[in-house]
């Protein structure tokens, strides 16, 4: 056996020798920093029971995951007392690995604290405590060293029975890596879960006991604890870089749940959710908290904050009082941002308000705010064209071109045609836009400005450009890490000298199935851009036309001849006798030199509008393919009173819905498109109309479905003399919270034995409940559908099924004296019983009556028809449940006695 392994087993034996006589660990985690290619520094943080002096550890054994171990002394003296019988201990050590790889760093201690409710109760003291962090050694030639996540909130927290609880670890990743959070089971050894673990919601489970974890922000919510005691919870914080997981840290934490909170109410916190800010701006966020308790313990509150911005330069400032104060308490988060703070991921700030129920601590409410710092846009982007290239320039210096920022250069983005693009501060960059990146990390200067020349161009295309700054960490050999873009610049558009004819209009003048008209306008190339030595006179021009369902053809009336280039005039043409009612039309222009086509324009299509009727509305959709950019559309609707079209909307998308229309009346509309080439030479805006389209709205859309809930029938257990059990069904009125506000009633269906049956037609949408008496069997499921005035039912109804909780109980007395009351022996109202095998015997064991009917309906007579005398009779009853997979949970046989008393009335 090696000396190292012997040393490890010796130390472990010493630790476990005291395990039976001491309790110790509450919580902890392991952090690390990669120092070089193969060396790391690990920091182990544990939170222990301060009063457990015999189990106090001045050293711990670190398992480095490569087969080696190190005994590490505590670095913070005797530990830091935190109150609530808790002490924080810190152990730091460095280690060199034999090679690059992924290693699981772990620390074990034999002693957890005693009486943890959800870890092998009541034996948690005998379950080892183990924390683990998975570290990938990165190749520092291509990556920057990883600094694992730091969890700024202590993993010891306080909760109350019946009060919603929240905890957020306030995770901070100094490298700006992406973080995600995942619940897991605490460990007792490397990758080995503790035995008999229950998540907190599994202790006294029920609808009031629910846990969730926000995978993005890391907020754990428990709504709400149902049993007092100590709980342990573990979660993993995963770190990702370029979409690859590089580390995982397991935190084991403890929650103290108290029963003695009394009538104390939790405080309330008012602030924003998430926000984004441009570097260089000052962020000011107001925070307000108050407590509904006005006197005594729990009436004062303390505001605290933690998070990554408090480690920036300059750090965020929080001006809240440092003592518990009467509510309301108001404070401000103040952060002077700069370009060094730009990064891909959000910063998280956790704001916490705590009352003084326990004098120095109490019930807390927290809120995680995510803040993104984005880089400003490059400014003053301009373009100019030469025969070979389009030159771009923008302002130098750039705001964030400074020493302490991670600015690396600019990327250049291009698309054909102009595009109005809204700036989203929280999602900077052009990666999700129609623009394509054509250059990266540009830093060239010319004439006092940043400069780039685009030479990969095609004549006759109109190009539009934007630029953005790029920010990233950088490895020792220049590889970029966690790249993020700035806000994008203004747009500039240009083209190579245009040597082709350019279309300006394809405008529907008249809409008709036979006599429609389209206005076509175009312009010729500038003389300096048209080589008349190559393309010599005479010249001819014509317009080609394409109609849906046909082939391209030359319009004879558009053809014109010219002796020289200077005599070619800008041309307009009105094409007549077209079918423009439900067809689009496309055009191109050609210039011929001699008998050969010298130059041909791009193709332009008329705006083609189609309409779809609906209930009191018409949905408009249109499309067109043009060499210019249509950036806006005006929607016109015919006004029958004014006898004219009137503009009703201005939109940027290719669809619009006309609402508030009268059903069963025809409504007509057209669209006017506004466009441009983005080049000063051409007129703007270019205006082109669509065809006129008409439609008659009618109520074709079914109403919205209500949401159905049912009072739990399993809680309705009728006893002797009780009324027939019932299901209480409740739902919302969809007319109050849905765009379709035309529900006029409800159809309530019940499913039993696979059959669907209408049990209620409720003709008032304001009625939102129904009581279904269970005179017979309980239905398997209910379905509720709203319907409109045309009896169109909603299409996505709620179908709520009853929890299988069969019920079959028998009375012990009945009075078959023909007085109309209790004359038949029958069961109390029952559920989910298909049949029974029921038999009645006298005291000598003779069979008197038998039936398979679950209603029984015994009249107090023997099988021969004679009445049995008053007295006591014995019965057996075998129950056959209907369609229940978990029938074995319920009694299948009943045995008992029946008292027949004809002299009694019930």
Per-residue tokens: 454: 């685009």
Q: What is the pLDDT of residue 671?
A: 98
**17 by DSSP, 3-state: which?**
helix
Its pTM stands at: 0.65
- Compute the distance between CA of residue 486 and CA of residue 372 in angstroms, rounded to an integer: 12
Helix (H) or strand (E) holding 10: helix 3-17
The tokens 């909170």 sit on which residue? 261
Say what the pLDDT of residue 20 is: 41
Predicted pLDDT at 676: 87
Q: What is the pLDDT of residue 308?
A: 94
Model pLDDT, residue 12: 42
574 within 8 A of 581, measured Cβ to Cβ: no
The answer to whether residues 33 and 148 touch, using CB atoms and an 8 Å cutoff, is yes
What are 609's two structure tokens?
């509008």
Secondary structure of residue 671 in the 3-state scheme: strand
The structure tokens listed for 409 are 């250069």
In this predicted structure, what is the pLDDT of residue 775? 62
Place of tokens 């004296």: 817
Kindly list the distances between the CA atom of residue 607 and the CA atoms of 671, 691, 694, in Å, as whole numbers in the listed order.
8, 7, 15
Taking the CB of residue 798, how many other CB atoms lie within 10 A of it?
Answer: 16
Neighbours of 533 (CB within 10 A): 5
Residues in the chain where the model's pLDDT stays below 50: 1-21, 718-723, 885, 905-906
Structure tokens at 448: 């006092």
pLDDT of residue 31: 98
Name residue 685's beta-bridge partners: none
SS3 527: helix
**Among candidate residues 626, 649, 625, the one with its CA nearest the CA of residue 637:** 649
Q: Structure tokens of 120? A: 């092998």
**Nearest to 72, CA basis, from 54, 60, 84:** 60
Q: What pLDDT, on the 0 to 100 scale, is given for residue 2?
A: 39
């Amino acid at each position: 056996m090696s000396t190292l392994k012997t040393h490890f087993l010796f130390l472990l034996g010493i630790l476990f020798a005291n395990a039976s006589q001491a309790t110790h660990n509450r919580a902890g985690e392991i952090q690390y920093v990669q120092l070089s290619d193969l060396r790391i520094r690990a920091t182990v943080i544990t939170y222990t029971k301060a009063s457990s002096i015999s189990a106090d550890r001045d050293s711990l054994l670190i398992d480095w995951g490569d087969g080696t171990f190190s005994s590490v002394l505590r670095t913070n003296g005797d530990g830091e007392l935190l109150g609530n019988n808790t002490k924080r201990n810190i152990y730091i050590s460095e280690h060199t690995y034999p090679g690059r790889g992924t290693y699981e760093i772990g620390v074990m201690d034999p002693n957890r604290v005693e009486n943890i409710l959800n870890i092998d109760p009541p034996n948690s003291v005998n379950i080892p405590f183990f924390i683990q962090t998975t570290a990938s050694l990165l190749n520092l030639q291509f990556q920057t060293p990883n600094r694992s996540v730091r969890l700024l909130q202590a993993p010891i927290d306080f909760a109350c029975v019946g009060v919603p609880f929240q905890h957020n670890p306030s995770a901070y990743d100094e490298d700006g890596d992406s973080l995600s959070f995942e619940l897991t089971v605490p460990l007792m050894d490397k990758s080995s879960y503790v035995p008999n673990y229950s998540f907190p919601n599994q202790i006294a489970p029920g609808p009031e006991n629910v846990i969730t974890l926000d995978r993005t922000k890391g907020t754990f919510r428990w709504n709400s604890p149902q049993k007092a005691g100590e709980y342990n919870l573990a979660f993993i914080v995963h770190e990702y870089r370029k979409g690859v997981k590089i580390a995982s840290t397991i935190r084991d934490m403890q929650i103290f749940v108290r029963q003695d909170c009394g009538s104390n109410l939790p405080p309330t916190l008012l602030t924003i959710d998430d926000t984004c800010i441009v570097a260089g701006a000052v962020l000011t966020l107001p925070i307000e908290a108050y407590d509904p308790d006005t006197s005594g313990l729990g009436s004062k509150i303390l505001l605290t904050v933690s998070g990554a911005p408090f480690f920036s330069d300059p750090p965020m400032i929080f001006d809240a009082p440092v003592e518990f104060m009467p509510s309301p308490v108001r404070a401000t988060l103040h952060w002077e941002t700069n370009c060094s703070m730009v990064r891909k991921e959000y910063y998280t700030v956790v704001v916490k308000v705590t009352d003084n129920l326990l004098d120095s601590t109490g019930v807390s409410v927290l809120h995680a705010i995510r803040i993104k710092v984005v880089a400003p846009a490059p400014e003053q982007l301009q373009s100019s064209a030469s025969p070979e290239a389009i030159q771009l320039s923008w302002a130098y210096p750039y705001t964030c071109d400074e020493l302490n920022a991670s600015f690396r250069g600019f990327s250049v983005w291009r698309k054909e045609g102009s595009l109005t693009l809204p700036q989203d501060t929280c999602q900077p960059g052009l990666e999700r836009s129609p623009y394509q990146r054509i250059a990266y990390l540009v830093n060239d200067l010319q004439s006092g400005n940043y400069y780039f020349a685009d030479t990969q161009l095609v004549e006759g295309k109109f190009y539009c450009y934007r630029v953005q700054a790029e920010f990233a960490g950088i490895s020792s050999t220049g590889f970029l890490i966690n790249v993020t873009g700035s806000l994008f610049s203004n747009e500039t558009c240009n083209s190579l000298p245009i040597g082709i004819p350019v279309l300006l209009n394809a405008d529907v003048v008249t809409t008709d199935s036979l006599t429609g008209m389209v206005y076509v306008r175009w312009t010729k190339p500038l003389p300096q851009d048209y080589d008349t030595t190559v393309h010599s006179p005479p010249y001819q021009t014509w317009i080609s036309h394409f109609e849906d369902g046909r082939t391209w053809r030359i319009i004879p009336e558009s053809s014109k001849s010219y002796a020289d280039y200077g005599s070619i005039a800008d041309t307009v043409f009105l094409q007549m006798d077209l079918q423009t009612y439900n067809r689009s039309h496309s055009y191109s222009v050609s210039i011929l030199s001699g008998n050969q086509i010298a130059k041909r324009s791009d193709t332009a299509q008329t705006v083609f509008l189609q309409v779809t009727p609906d209930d009191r509305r018409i949905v408009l959709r249109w499309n067109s393919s043009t060499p210019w950019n249509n950036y806006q559309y005006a929607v016109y609707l015919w006004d029958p009173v004014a006898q004219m079209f009137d503009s009703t909307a201005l939109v940027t998308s290719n669809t619009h819905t006309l609402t508030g229309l009268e059903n069963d009346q025809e409504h007509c509309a057209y669209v006017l498109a506004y466009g441009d080439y983005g080049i000063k030479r051409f007129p703007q805006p270019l205006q082109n109309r669509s065809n006129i389209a008409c439609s008659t709205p009618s109520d074709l859309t079914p109403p919205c479905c209500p949401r159905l809930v049912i009072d739990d029938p399993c809680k309705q257990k009728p006893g002797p003399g009780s009324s027939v059990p019932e299901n209480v069904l409740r739902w919302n009125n969809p007319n109050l919270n849905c765009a379709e506000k035309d529900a006029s009633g409800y159809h309530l269906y019940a499913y039993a034995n696979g059959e669907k049956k209408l049990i209620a037609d409720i003709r008032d949408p304001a009625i939102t409940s129904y009581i279904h008496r269970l005179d017979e069997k309980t239905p398997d499921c209910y379905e509720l559908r709203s319907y409109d005035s045309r009896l169109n039912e909603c299409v996505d109804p709620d179908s709520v099924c009853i929890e299988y909780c069969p019920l079959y109980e028998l009375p012990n007395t009945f009075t078959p004296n023909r007085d109309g009351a209790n004359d038949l022996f029958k069961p109390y109202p029952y559920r989910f019983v298909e049949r029974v095998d029921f038999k009645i015997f006298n005291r000598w064991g003779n069979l008197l009556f038998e039936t398979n009917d679950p209603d029984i309906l015994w009249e107090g007579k023997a099988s021969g028809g004679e009445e049995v005398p008053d007295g006591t009779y014995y019965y057996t009853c075998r129950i056959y449940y209907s369609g229940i997979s978990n029938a074995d949970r319920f009694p299948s046989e009943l045995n008992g006695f029946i008292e027949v008393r004809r002299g009694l009335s019930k």
